[in-house]
Amino acid sequence: MCIKDMIIANSRGQEKGFLTESAQLDIDLGDTNDFELQMALSEYMNLGYQLGDRIYLPGTEYGGLIEDKETSTYEDSVFLRGYTWRGLLQQKIICPENGQEKLTISGEANEILAVLTEGWFDGLMQVDDVDSGIQIQGYEMDGYVDGLEGLTGMLKSAGAKLELVYEQQKFSGCVVIRAVPIVDYSENIEYSNDNKVHFTTRDYQMGTNHLVCYGKDKEEKLITVHLYADEEGNVSEKQSFFGADERAAVYEATSQSDRAKMIEDGTEKLKDAGNYKELSMTIQDIEVAVGDIVGGRERITGLYMKQPVTGKILKLDVNNKTIEYKVGE
């Protein structure tokens, strides 16, 4: 894969040409779900790119829709930006019918995907019509979630993930959406420094472990709750850290609350502010998909984690190709 393999097509999928060596591309999958393409102003003028054009690498998920253009005569550059295919799914909302708060879903995964995404993309994206072999059993989807969150959550409940692939045809092309099983690479491949894998690890132990929660109930009476995190990050009303090891903070409930609600909200705040371990990696010579599971052992610190891949960043220019992976929820 190199920058000159990337194709630009018009809004109908008809090819305009390949990117040239002057282009630089940054694609984010799983986090911001967008891309930025930078090229020389002269190249942009010659090839006549427009808003609404598509950029893609056939047979992969790498691509998206150009919907933002910025030119800089000082830098002699044009910056073209837009959502990836995942990002476009994120811009749709799944609404329940008949005033319900949730959707209860059962059936073959691709058939369900086709029903939920009907009318979304007018041929730009379409669901594979083959039987995926994956069955959704009584999944309850929250109403009014974005399309990406709703579809990926549903498939994850059945051990599956969302696959998006741009398939090029003779005179046009489209993104094919399908459900496929999650692959657990940690069972037979352990990524480590020995396998051309570069790690960034962080073991953060400066977090809050005692949260003092207070506020007023409907009768304007003061409520105070002390919440504590233990070494595993579990939250309760039992203290685990004392003296110099205690790290305390305050959470004020700004709206009327009761004790149960204060514990619920305070628990979420304390987990967000607590200790954590973080692992990110750049992998060479092998590519895994968003949703797959990897295992990583960093030899220097001994930190081992088995986590799903939640994001990928592809960077391409004339000389380099790098893929950075984000793992963990």
Please indicate, yes or no, whether residues 74 and 46 belong to a single structural domain of this protein: yes
Does residue 189 contact residue 297 with C-beta atoms inside 8 Å? no
Q: In 3D, which of 156, 148, 137 has the Cα closest to residue 291?
A: 156
Please indicate, yes or no, whether residues 55 and 7 belong to a single structural domain of this protein: yes
> Does 318 map to a domain?
no
pTM greater than the 0.85 cutoff: no
Can you tell me which residue has the tokens 């995942």?
86
Q: For the residues 134-163, what does the mean pLDDT come to?
A: 95
Please indicate, yes or no, whether residues 267 and 283 belong to a single structural domain of this protein: no
As a whole number, the mean pLDDT across the chain is 87
Please indicate, yes or no, whether residues 134 and 106 belong to a single structural domain of this protein: yes
The three-point CA angle 276-155-36 to 5° equals 65
pLDDT of residue 189: 60
Can you tell me which residue has the tokens 């990926």?
152
Please indicate, yes or no, whether residues 25 and 53 belong to a single structural domain of this protein: yes
pLDDT in tens, 195-244: 555 667 777 889 999 999 999 888 888 999 999 999 888 999 999 999 99
The boundaries of the domain holding residue 157 are 92-181
Buried b (16+ CB within 10 A) or exposed e, 164-195: bbbebeeeebbbbbbbbbbeebbeeebbbeee
The tally of domains found in the chain comes to 4
Which residues, 6+ apart, have CB-to-CB distance to 185 below 8 Å?
Answer: 288, 292, 293, 294, 295
> Does 327 map to a domain?
no
| Residue 140, domain CATH | 3.55.50
pLDDT of residue 108: 97
pLDDT in tens, 80-133: 999 999 999 999 999 888 778 889 999 999 999 999 999 999 889 999 999 999
pLDDT of residue 197: 59
Domain edge (last residue) among 88, 116, 131: 88
Please indicate, yes or no, whether residues 290 and 236 belong to a single structural domain of this protein: no
Statement: residue 57 has pLDDT above 90: yes
Please indicate, yes or no, whether residues 67 and 7 belong to a single structural domain of this protein: yes
Question: 329 pLDDT band (50/70/90 cuts)?
Answer: low
Biggest CA pair distance of the chain:
71
pLDDT of residue 237: 95
Does residue 250 contact residue 214 with C-beta atoms inside 8 Å? yes
